[in-house]
């Protein structure tokens, strides 16, 4: 049985109109991958709603990926997605309930993202109601939750009948299952698909026989040929959409005159040193992996992505590729026009952390000096 | 960027999932005494690392 706890399709809660088409393509691609992989149930996270509830439901129907949520509700309080699914595994019926957190910023985000079309109802009440319905129909019940890790204890403790809570939403992951009151377990796989969890129960021996493994998805696991081919096909489709008939295999940035040259008029030494850094070839790394038309990647490999005067998907201005001066120092329009200070004259490590996130560079803060030295250009 | 810190290797995961759910010899599918739940979370739309 394969399940996911939510936030599968979008990285952001707001999808700019300029990248909506590619975001939809990517969402459809992700759902098709889930279908081929054979997911039995996928919980709905708040970011999954960013392309619209109607579109998400349409996508679920088209790809037959079972999206579930017992407490994302419409204005009348009715569940928008199926609340649960029942699967038969090893001769046993297993009920899988989808839940999203009703605390912290999640409820407000759901309302904002859906323009009030959806809201989050009481998670314990929704779980309790679903469990009551499943009683007599299933042998085991799994709750897929999308909320802060500590809230999983509330579900496990207060809702009788749930055998396993599979949580997600933040980076917390469980190296071993957490037993709760000798009646259920909590597991979490962390974020961004870095790990897959495997929780196994020997039916002959009951809950005492649980085994668990958190498998890192590294290079030691061979590519799946079919999935790899699907991803290549998707990359080709994105290329065709944005390349404007450009020649395959030719980096469109190879002869670009960069915006940075304007800065170099006065800051020649800085510019020369910048040219020796990895920031000066950030776009090329995308091109080498055929990801140079992927908005998710371009956001950190171009200048001020989709901001006024910044790199945008529609025009694809090659003068604004790589991580240039304005990427860290901010919009230099006023500085270039009248020598007003740039918005961020001395960027701190927090600026770096916007792209060098903890999953990509876990030691960024600890090794801040080392990172800063790599891009030093004074 | 360190290769070890890259994120979302879904296609690698698929290989693992495929081997678990539909292994060629059908050993897991045929093992009716066990339920295996493979789980992921918070993939956030990544299909493979940017670079």
pLDDT for the residue numbered A245: 64
According to the model, what pLDDT value does residue A209 have?
Answer: 84
**What's the pTM value of the predicted model, to 2 decimals?**
0.81
Give the model's pLDDT for residue A104. 93
Task: Report the DSSP beta bridge partners of residue A96.
Answer: A85, A142
Q: Cβ of B45 under 8 Å from any chain A Cβ?
A: yes
Closest chain A residue to the Cα of B4, Cα to Cα: A218
Question: From the CA of A117, how many Å to the nearest CA of chain B?
Answer: 22
Pairs from A370-377 (Cβ < 8 Å, separation ≥ 24): A374/A277, A374/A278, A375/A274, A375/A277, A375/A278, A375/A279, A376/A273, A377/A269, A377/A270, A377/A271, A377/A273, A377/A274, A377/A277
Query: Between chains, do B39 and A187 touch, taking CB under 8 Å as contact?
Result: yes
User: Within an 8 Å CB–CB cutoff, is residue B50 touching chain A?
Assistant: yes
Domain boundaries defined on chain A: 3-216, 249-373
Q: Do B46 and A224 touch (CB under 8 A)?
A: no
Q: Are A293 and A239 in contact (CB under 8 A)?
A: yes
- pLDDT digit string, tens, across residues A41-94: 999 999 999 999 999 999 999 999 999 999 999 999 999 999 999 999 989 999
Among A19, A18, A130, A141, residue whose Cα is nearest residue A81: A130
Q: Enumerate residues 292 to 331 of chain A having a beta carbon within 8 A of any beta carbon in chain B.
A: 294, 296-297, 300-301
Beta strands (DSSP E) in A227-378 are: none
Q: Is A32 on the interface with B (CB under 8 A)?
A: no
Q: Read off the pLDDT of each residue in A356-363 and give the average, rounded to a whole number.
A: 82
B7 closest CB neighbour out of A9, A167, A192: A192
Helix locations, A151-275, DSSP H: 151-158, 225-242, 260-264, 268-274
A139 touches chain B (CB under 8 A): no
Element (H, E) at A37: helix A17-37
- pLDDT tens, residue by residue, B1-40: 333 333 334 444 554 554 444 333 333 444 568 899 999 9
In sequence order, what are the residues at sequence separation of 6 or more whose Cβ sits closer than 8 angstroms to the Cβ of residue B6? Answer: A360, B49
**pLDDT value at position A235?**
82
For B31, the closest chain A residue by CA position comes to A90
Question: Which of A29, A204, A282 has its CB closest to that of B47?
Answer: A29
Right CATH number for A3-216 from 3.20.20.70, 2.60.120.340, 3.40.50.1110, 3.60.21.10? 3.60.21.10
- The whole-number pLDDT of residue B5 equals 31
Expressed in angstroms, the distance from the first to the final Cα of chain A is: 55
A2 at interface of B, judged by CB pairs closer than 8 A: yes
Residue B20, pLDDT score: 47
Mean pLDDT, chain A, as a whole number? 91
Show residues of chain B in contact with A228, CB under 8 Å: 11
Cross-chain Cβ contact A300/B50 below 8 Å = yes
Residues of chain A positioned with their CB less than 8 A from the CB of B22 = 38
Q: Note the pLDDT of residue B24.
A: 34
pLDDT band at A294 (very low <50, low <70, confident <90, very high): confident
Query: Mean pLDDT, to the nearest integer, of A110-131?
Result: 97
More confident residue, A91 or A127: A127
A95, β-bridge pairs? A86, A141
With CA atoms as reference, the chain A residue closest to B36 would be A200
Out of A1, A192, A224, name the one closest to residue B11 (CB): A224
Is residue A171 within 8 Å of residue A194, measured between CB atoms?
Answer: no
Phi, psi of A201 (to 5 degrees): -120, 130
DSSP class of residue A199 equals E
pLDDT in tens, A339-350: 999 999 999 999
Q: Does A187 touch chain B (CB under 8 A)?
A: yes
DSSP A211: E
Q: Do A30 and B36 touch (CB under 8 A)?
A: no
């Amino acid at each position: 049985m394969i399940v996911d706890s939510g936030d599968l399709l979008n990285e952001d809660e707001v999808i700019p109109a300029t990248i909506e088409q590619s975001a939809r393509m990517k969402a459809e691609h992700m759902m098709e991958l889930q279908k081929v992989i054979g997911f039995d149930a996928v919980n709905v996270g708040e970011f999954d709603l960013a392309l619209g509830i109607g579109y998400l439901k349409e996508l679920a129907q088209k790809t037959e990926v079972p999206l579930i949520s017992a407490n994302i509700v419409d204005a009348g309080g009715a569940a928008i997605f199926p609340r649960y699914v029942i699967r038969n595994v090893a001769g046993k019926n297993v009920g899988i309930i989808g839940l999203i957190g009703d605390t912290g910023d999640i409820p407000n985000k759901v309302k904002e993202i859906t323009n009030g079309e959806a809201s989050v109802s009481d998670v314990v009440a929704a779980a309790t109601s679903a469990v009551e319905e499943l009683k007599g129909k299933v042998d085991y019940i799994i709750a897929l939750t999308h909320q802060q890790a500590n809230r999983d204890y509330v579900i496990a403790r207060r809702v009788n009948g749930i055998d396993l809570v599979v949580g997600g939403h933040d980076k917390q992951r469980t190296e071993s299952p957490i037993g709760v009151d000798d009646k259920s377990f909590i597991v979490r796989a962390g974020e961004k698909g870095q790990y897959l969890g495997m929780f196994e129960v020997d039916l002959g021996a009951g809950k005492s026989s649980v085994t668990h493994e958190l498998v890192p998805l590294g290079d030691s696991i061979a590519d799946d040929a079919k999935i790899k081919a699907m991803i290549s096909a998707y990359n080709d489709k994105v290329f065709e959409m944005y390349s404007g008939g450009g020649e395959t295999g030719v980096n469109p940035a190879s002869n670009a005159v960069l915006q940075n040259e304007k800065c170099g008029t006065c800051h020649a030494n800085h510019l020369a040193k910048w040219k020796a850094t990895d920031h000066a070839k950030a776009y090329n790394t995308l091109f080498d992996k055929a990801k140079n038309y992927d908005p998710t990647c371009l956001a950190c490999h171009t200048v001020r992505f989709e901001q006024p005067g910044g790199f945008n998907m529609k025009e694809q201005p090659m003068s604004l590729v790589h991580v240039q001066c304005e990427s860290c120092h901010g919009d230099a329009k006023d500085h270039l026009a009248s020598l007003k200070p740039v918005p961020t004259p001395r960027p701190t490590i927090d600026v770096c952390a916007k792209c060098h996130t903890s999953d990509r560079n876990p030691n960024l803060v600890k090794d801040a000096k080392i990172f800063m030295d790599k891009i030093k250009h004074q | 960027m360190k290769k070890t810190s890259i994120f979302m290797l879904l296609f690698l995961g698929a290989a693992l999932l495929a081997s678990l759910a539909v292994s060629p010899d059908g050993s897991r599918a045929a093992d009716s005494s066990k339920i295996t739940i493979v789980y992921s979370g918070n993939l956030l739309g990544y299909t493979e690392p940017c670079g």
